Structure 1
Amino acid sequence: MAKSWVNSAERIGADLHLELSGSGGRRAALIDALRAAVRSGRLAPGTRLPPYRSLAADLGVARNTVADAYAELVAEGWLTARQGSGTRVAERARPLRAQPVRHAVKGPVTAPPRARAPRHDLRQGTPDASAFPRAAWLASYRRALQQAPDEVFGPGDPAGRVELREALTEYLARVRGVRTAPDRIVICSGFAHGLRLLFGQGGGGPLRGPLAVESYGLGFHRELLRTAGVRTVPLPVDEHGARVEELTKERAVLLTPAHQFPTGGPLHAERRTAVIDWARAQGGVVLEDDYDGEFRYDRKPVGALQGLDPERVILLGSVSKSLSPALRLGWMVLPERYVEGVLTAKGEREAWASVLDQLSLADLIVSGSYDRHVRRMRQRYRSRRDRLVAALAARAPHIEVTGVAAGLHAVLRLPPGTERSALKAATWQGVALDGLAAFRHPEAETAATADQDGLVVGYATPSEAAFGAALEALCEVLPPDGSAECLPPDERSHSPART
């Protein structure tokens, strides 16, 4: 192919020289030429590129060839496309300086360019670390330390400190509708620890597999269960939660009834009663992951499933979302028949959760500081949720946002086939987030949601000061409307039909 000069001074302010060469086709050659121009600095950040029709005419190629090349470079993060602004060189696509690497024989070589470390963390799973109630926690810790009996500094009870179990009994009954007693609660270091105690390593816990799980969930939990020798059987998920009517001969099922993770939405009322009926008929048990039940915004509170039948439901909770995962404090609310087996699996002494932290959390709850903190964070996270929804409505109205009535994350439904390119663009733009496909059970069959693309956006992690910039960066990496072709926004209305 010959060298080509593109004279589009009225649009970009200067001539654009591109050399199309190679045997991979014109689309590949154009992508390589534009990428090289950006990488070398010849196309500076913020430079507006010609409309794809003009560039196609100057180069003598099809308009779809230019449109596809622009779309690929937008997905990779080299370019950005926005309604009314055209296609521009991304602000972060600055030339990368090669770093010399010492080699034992051949001398200095050039290190390949790498994607930047994330500047904006929009991954799900963690609260705003800057909002930890340090003053309230310190006050509770001091009171707990001053009032602690001498026995606290000896070997710990594997069930956990009775002060915390009593505080949790009252709190969970008041806030989540849980029916229990202190001797039915076992303190653990979090949800994953609770699973290990229930199933043990190689079947050492009181429960056995197979275990039915929702077709969307944390792969870390599935891997933990697999390591323990437990086979997980996926249940399809739709807008009403897990389809529990498809439970068969399993003896246990793991659910997120208050707010399905990660797709969002509570388990429908009819399904809540149906899964209890199933557990009674099968002699089985329901594991209830109550991971963010306190954070509800646009709906009436959904009580814990455990309240329907305390002898058929094991509730697992923690302070990982409400306070911090660094505290390593969680709890299991158990049917009577499982208490002894869990304590046996845990051992004769408390080996996981700090006794002083347990006493501090008990004081935080009893003093009312925990309630005040949760209410304050509920307001903050609701405000962030509203800002996210408003930003998407203004910048990407074609993107459907779901799962926002509660919790600390939202799901952005993407056009089919765009999830991977959006994640790739996010990486290059310094935005850390998760794709919906990463949470899908590997054995899940194609169902109502199984073939949909999406992004799981956690809006709790950034600090207040950083959240605005994180939202701006997120909007930059979303696929434009009509992104099956990913046409530049200023040209979308004139898109020709594909042949």
Structure 2
Amino acid sequence: MWKIQWQDKKELSLARQIFLSLRERILAGQLAAGERMPSTRELAGSLGVSRNTVCEAYDMLLAEGFTVSRQGAPTRIARDVCLDYKPDGVATAPVKPEAGTPVWDFATGRPDITLFPWKLWNKMLGEAAGQLPPGQWGYTSPQGYELLCGEIACWLLRSRGMLVKPADIFITAGATQAFYLLVGLLHKTGAPFVLENPSHPAMYTVITDRGYPVQWLEVDEQGAIVETLTESAVSAVYVTPSHQFPLGGILPAGRRAALIRLARDNDFYIIEDDYDGEFRYAGPAISPLYSLDASHVIYVGTFSKTLFPALRLGFVILPKPLQEKWRHYRKYMDVQNPVLEQAALTAFLRTRAMDKHIRRMRRSYGEKRSCFLQAVQEHFADSVCPWGDASGLHVALQFPGAEFGERFVEESRAAGLGIRPVNRLYPSLHEQHRDKLLLGYGHLNAGQIQEGMSALRRLMERGDYGYVTRGS
């Protein structure tokens, strides 16, 4: 019973190994509460170690409360320290295996990180580590690395035509942290946050997890239908005007002006999420909503799609009245981002490596987009309508007459396809947009796109989803 499988680790003493072995048995219920422990001499003889070694192990058990001892009485197991005791004959519930990775994963929001210039990036990380002054390795401003804010302002001018002061830029750990902070910053008691319907589930989750109310803006081919905003008292309005997520519409000038007028008249802020505006394949980048009214629009940007998701760097452009409160919130959330990555990104922007990388990725994604649309045409002809294909890394495909529900999700997963119906982005299933699937292609190669579309065609042919496949 008392045998111990010794570990060949010099850093782990024999006494510590005895303690860990006995503790494991106590926690598992193999040594019951009140059970007498063998004497130190008896256990030492059984294990072939010195008595002092066993005494040291017993002292550890006693110090942490796993055993109790009185002078002249044997050491016993303490009460209420068992974690995993299960009576004999009681079967444990089987662990449900996790769903396997899809063979053809059309997940959205995934850039092709194989094309990122890793060698250059690692060089810039090394140079930043050697050049940063000592003061930057301590606690700094919740705003972020000052030089990075300046380079982001220059980048926004080059890529978007935006005139932004570096002092108004605040670095975040990606866009999700920006949303989390903004929801706390902008909430008004009893006033809902207004979201596009459908929209990215992250913003909805951040709001509803805090118990705040939500009102919906309906969406069509051109983005949010501003006229469906019926509340005058709102906490804030969240929109994706340059490439509506997930349907891909570009908010026209008339709707932009109407939304800004509402914000001015009713004293609320608009949160503009520009999550993939760099990748536009027909014409120049769309001008941000922020350019029309910097006093009522909060611009949120991220480098997760342009560089790589693990970088966890994004930014917000904040109107002056919100900046002091933002600093307070950020200070007591996590103070600041790691400075090394900020310094490397500063160099990446300053040397125009970012510009070169974006041009390269735009060409690559443009080729993948063409391959994707060609595969759609090949397998479904003109019976499927793409939405939002002019920019970004995903497309919404409309299958007229189809209804994609939970059964489609299960059957597509069984077929090796990672595809999400658009209506799963809603807080509950709605009738609208039930005929659309959301497919990301940025991280896939041409072969994966073709094979995945072929697998989707086979699934649609044998599945009863209300859509009759046609095409060559």
**TM-score with structure 2 setting the length:** 0.74
Cα distance, 1:123–1:181 mapped onto 2, change above 3 Å? same
User: In structure 2, do the counterparts of structure 1 residues 413 and 160 end up closer, same or farther at CA, with 3 Å as the change threshold?
Assistant: same
Output one character per residue of 1:187-233: Cα deviation in whole Å (capped at 9) or x when no partner: 11111111221223xxxx24434111101112232111112232111
Cα displacement string for residues 93-117 of structure 1 (whole angstroms, at most 9, x for unaligned residues): xxxxxxxxxxx8699xx99999754
Percent identity over paired residues: 30
Change (3 A) 1:105 1:229: closer
How many corresponding residue pairs?
Answer: 378
Residues 323-370 of structure 1 show CA distances to partners (whole Å, capped at 9, x for unaligned) of 111111010101111111111101168545211111111110111111
* 1:399 and 2:384 aligned: yes
Residue aligning to 1:361: 345
Deviation (angstroms), 1:484:
2.9
What does 1:98-497 align with in structure 2 at a 5 Å threshold? 116-200=100-184, 205-208=185-188, 209-247=191-229, 248-249=231-232, 250-347=234-331, 351=335, 353-397=337-381, 398-420=383-405, 421-442=407-428, 450-463=432-445, 466-479=448-461, 484=466
1:396-443 Cα offsets, whole Å, 9 max, x none, are 111211110001000111233442354333211211121111112449
Measured after TM superposition, the shift of residue 468 of structure 1 is 4.2
Kept in 2: contact 1:254–1:289 (CA 8 A):
yes
Counterpart AA for 1:414 = F
Q: Distance in 1 between matches of 2:322 and 2:424?
A: 33
In structure 1, what is the equivalent of residue 78 of structure 2? Answer: none
Return closer, same or farther for 1:424/1:486 CA change in 2, 3 Å cut-off. Answer: farther
Secondary structure (helix, strand or coil) at the match of 1:236 reads strand
C-alpha distance in structure 1 between counterparts of 2:284 and 2:463, whole Å = 34
Q: 1:452 Cα deviation (Å)? A: 3.7
Long gaps (5+) in structure 1: 1-103, 493-499
Q: CA deviation at 1:467?
A: 4.2
Question: In structure 2, the residue corresponding to 1:419 is in which secondary structure?
Answer: coil
CA distance in 2 between counterparts of 1:379 and 1:394 reads 22
Whole-angstrom CA distance in 1 between matches of 2:174 and 2:134: 27
Q: State the distance in 2 between where 1:434 and 1:125 align.
A: 13
- Measured in 2, the distance between the counterparts of 1:465 and 1:105 equals 52
Task: Report which stretch shifted further, 432-441 or 474-483.
Answer: 474-483
The DSSP-based 3-state class of the residue aligned with 2:321 is helix
Cα distance change on mapping 1:222 and 1:113 into 2, 3 Å? closer
Q: Which has the higher contact order (CA 8 A, sep 6+)?
A: 1
Give 2:55's aligned residue. none
User: What CA RMSD, in Å, does the superposition of the two structures yield over aligned residues?
Assistant: 3.0
1:479, distance to aligned residue in structure 2 (A): 4.7
Higher gyration radius (CA): 2
SS of aligned partner of 2:412: helix
Gaps of 5+ in 2: 1-87
Q: Secondary structure at the match of 2:194?
A: strand
Measured in 1, the distance between the counterparts of 2:95 and 2:204 equals 37
Relative distance call for 1:479 and 1:232 in structure 2 (3 A) is farther
Summarize deviations over 1:224-278 as a string: whole Å, max 9, x none: 1112232111101011110112323124200000000001121111111111111
Deviation larger for 141-150 or 254-263: 141-150
In structure 2, give the amino acid aligned to 1:470.
G
**Preserved contact between residue 156 and residue 355 of structure 1 (Cα < 8 Å):** no
Contact 1:409 1:459 in 2 (8 A): yes
